[in-house]
Amino acid sequence: MKQPVVAIVGRPNVGKSTILNRLAGKRLALVNDEPGVTRDRIYHSIEHKGFRFTLVDTGGLDLAPSDDPLRTLVEEQSRKAVEEADLILLVVEGTHGPTLGDWRLAEELRSSNKPVLVVVNKLDSVDDFHLAYDFYQLGLGEPIPVSGLYGLNVGYLCDKLVDCLKQNQGEEEGGIAREEAVKVALIGRPNVGKSSLFNRLVGEERAIVSDLPGTTRDAIDTLVRVNDKTYRFVDTAGIRRKTRVRPGLEQYSSMRSFTSIKRSDVVVMVADAQEGITSQDNRLINYIAQRAGKGIVLAANKCDLLDPQVVKTFPPSLLRFIPIILTSARTGFGIASILKNVDMVYSQWRKSIPTPALNSVLREAVSRKALPLYRGKKVRLLYASQVGTSPPRFLFFANYPQGIPLAYRRYLENQLRKEFGFIGSPIWFEFRAQS
């Protein structure tokens, strides 16, 4: 059953993302003194006292006239969050009293006919909680004083929030069913079309799309159900080379992208089909496979901009084990293949091989290609077993494990892939002396 949705809205820089982080109990959204840090909708599932709901953080809404097209996109995202919400948290800054922007927002939220809780933030001492009374003027009921920075009264806010959801939707609507979702991160350099692909995959404009590099600053989690399968998509900021990353907010955005890789199951590596696989793409792929151990699908996006003859001759497999899909976020070409390949790579990433079958392949591999001598002594591979999945991990026992060269280890990997597949998944080896 669908979890109820709680949208966090308010003027820029009133502490919406800080409130989200406090309610979630961990740092999910970027927090910075610069207004406008949050640009997209950021989703996170929360459980409080056995009741589950989804929080949505949004960019700032101030309703003042503006010629900035990016701010218009941000405000469109906030309004979409309000439309899908079952409850709205209107975050205001308590130290200044109600502003004209707060009044405008309150009026717009009243017209939505959705229940609203007024959260008076930045009251960092209980001695300041009386300042919240000024916000009764907004006509949205009892204002709740909190300090997102220090966590003051956030527990009470969470209790009120859940009570309100139960009252409006009933106890069963919150549900506590936990369906396993395949976690998919979209990763790539700036401006290769990650957000456009993200929107195609989730089937709506959940992420801001712009021709300007760096439009996406934070990760956006979105649960999507397709053909009776659930996916958690994470759209992330573009990853530049370290020498091109500016200190501060851009650096933190890049760090969060690497965090998204670590908490994913499968990474859709988005590259520009016009440019091909760059050295930066190769570095990212090596990090995803060798350091993070995640499944990989490579989406060569913007293929609609290529000459048809170029598309036909585009290499079907630039890398040894990674499926490559030609896609166009603009036309929708190849989008369905992304999910099919994500499913396939996810199953390969979690594959388990029986020990007898594994050792049978090992014996055949050694018989076809003998191990080189190590300091004049014969090296023997005794047996192997799979010791883990996600990614598949194998432990090999030998009399002289240090005598097995890298080239022979790659040969063994190729033999396992030839027999068992592991398409799109790294496989990790460990060699140990027999005890």
Q: What is the CA radius of gyration of the chain?
A: 26
Q: How many CB atoms lie within 10 A of CB 350?
A: 14
The three-class DSSP label of residue 188 is: strand
Output the tens digit of pLDDT for each of the chain's 435 residues: 568 889 999 988 898 888 988 888 766 544 444 444 444 567 788 888 788 888 888 876 765 555 565 656 667 777 777 888 899 999 999 988 899 889 988 888 887 878 999 999 999 999 999 999 889 888 888 899 999 999 999 999 998 999 888 877 644 434 333 457 899 999 988 888 888 888 888 775 554 444 444 444 444 567 777 777 888 886 565 544 444 444 443 443 445 567 778 878 999 999 998 888 888 888 888 889 988 999 999 999 998 887 765 555 555 444 678 998 999 999 999 998 999 999 999 999 999 999 999 999 999 999 999 999 999 999 999 999 998 999 999 999 999 999 999 999 999 999 999 999 999 999 999 999 975
Spatial CB neighbours of 89, under 8 Å, sequence gap ≥ 6:
6, 7, 8, 9, 19, 116, 117, 119, 161
Spatial CB neighbours of 340, under 8 Å, sequence gap ≥ 6:
none
Q: What is the pTM of this model?
A: 0.58
CA distance 145 to 93: 10
Q: In what order do the strands lie in the sheet with 393-398?
A: 381-388, 393-398, 428-433
Query: 266, 345 in Cβ contact below 8 A?
Result: yes
Phi, psi (degrees; rounded to nearest 5) at 29: -115, 150
Dihedral sign from CA coordinates of 150, 40, 231, 287: negative
183: phi > 0 → left, psi -120 to 50 → alpha, else beta; which? beta
Question: How much is the pLDDT for 110?
Answer: 83
C-alpha pair distances (Å), 27 with each of 3, 75, 214, 219, 328:
22, 23, 21, 12, 33
Query: 121, 92 in Cβ contact below 8 A?
Result: yes
CA distance 108 to 11: 13
Question: How much is the pLDDT for 255?
Answer: 55
Question: How much is the pLDDT for 414?
Answer: 94
Question: How much is the pLDDT for 262?
Answer: 81
Question: How much is the pLDDT for 71?
Answer: 59
CA distance 378 to 370: 10
Q: Token pair for residue 170?
A: 């009933």
Q: Token pair for residue 90?
A: 């209107």
CA distance 15 to 38: 11
CA distance 413 to 165: 53
Paired with 127 in beta bridges are none
Question: How much is the pLDDT for 318?
Answer: 46
Question: How much is the pLDDT for 62?
Answer: 63
Question: How much is the pLDDT for 219?
Answer: 46
Phi, psi (degrees; rounded to nearest 5) at 362: -60, -45
Paired with 383 in beta bridges are 397
Question: How much is the pLDDT for 27?
Answer: 60
Question: How much is the pLDDT for 43?
Answer: 77
Query: 393, 430 in Cβ contact below 8 A?
Result: yes
CA distance 229 to 216: 26
In Å, how far from its chain's centre is CA 348?
21
Query: Judging by DSSP bridges, how do beta strands 182-188 and 229-235 pair with one another?
Result: parallel
205: phi > 0 → left, psi -120 to 50 → alpha, else beta; which? beta
